[in-house]
Chains A and B, each alone.
Chain A
Amino acid sequence: DAGVIQSPRHEVTEMGQEVTLRCKPISGHDYLFWYRQTMMRGLELLIYFNNNVPIDDSGMPEDRFSAKMPNASFSTLKIQPSEPRDSAVYFCASLSHEATNTGELFFGEGSRLTVL
């Protein structure tokens, strides 16, 4: 079975541009998570979904960030407008309902964003 798939792997953009990151979770997983990784702050949870519904978005930094999950196999994280401080690696992860007692998340390889 394919793992969590993220695209693009690398994105370089200029300040003010819109950035869209994409994620395909493992088939059958009910939960999808977006994390951000930086040297200063480590891994931060941005938002997570259950059955395509956002459950906790308290980690989303500000209104420039938005996330959607239009169906069970696809999610996007959008930054508009982007700023240099948004430069980070963004990870998507998924969790099956059966694993909600133990919490084993599966991660994608990440999208490295550089905002100039």
Chain B
Amino acid sequence: GNSVTQMEGPVTLSEEAFLTINCTYTATGYPSLFWYVQYPGEGLQLLLKATKADDKGSNKGFEATYRKETTSFHLEKGSVQVSDSAVYFCALYRRDSGYALNFGKGTSLLVTP
């Protein structure tokens, strides 16, 4: 079946450090891939997405590239801010597997001043 594996947290970084959160997936065919972000006490918000191989999603300085050959969708940001502290979820969607998203377990990020 479809599944998503992302790196365990928590991840603690100093402000302006480089961020990578790894995400790999298992699925047949070509799923859509997403990163959602959950700020403390809030719901999930779409951060970025990619719908086909080699697509790069980007938003708010975050980027992720859909790599079919390595079945990966790693999240990166060149310089994190304290306000980026949140939980980040990688997710997969395949329409012919039902219309729901399969989520990874989430990675907690804490950015310190």
The interface of chain A, by Cβ under 8 A from chain B, is 4, 31, 33, 42-43, 45, 48, 50, 55-56, 91, 93, 95, 100-110
Contacts and interface: CB of A to CB of B under 8 A. Distances in A.
A23 to B, nearest CB: 11
Given A31-B99, A103-B95, A105-B101, 14 more contacts: A42-B105, A43-B89, A43-B103, A50-B99, A55-B99, A56-B98, A91-B43, A95-B99, A101-B95, A102-B32, A103-B34, A103-B101, A107-B43, A108-B43
How many B residues are at the interface, by size bracket?
20 to 34
Contacts of B99: 31, 48, 50, 55, 95, 100, 103
Contacts of A110: 42-43
Contacts of B34: 103-104
B27 interface: no
A62 B93 CA distance: 26
B46 interface: yes
A108 B103 CA distance: 16
B105 A56 contact: no
B45 interface: yes
A33 B17 CA distance: 36
Contacts of B45: 107
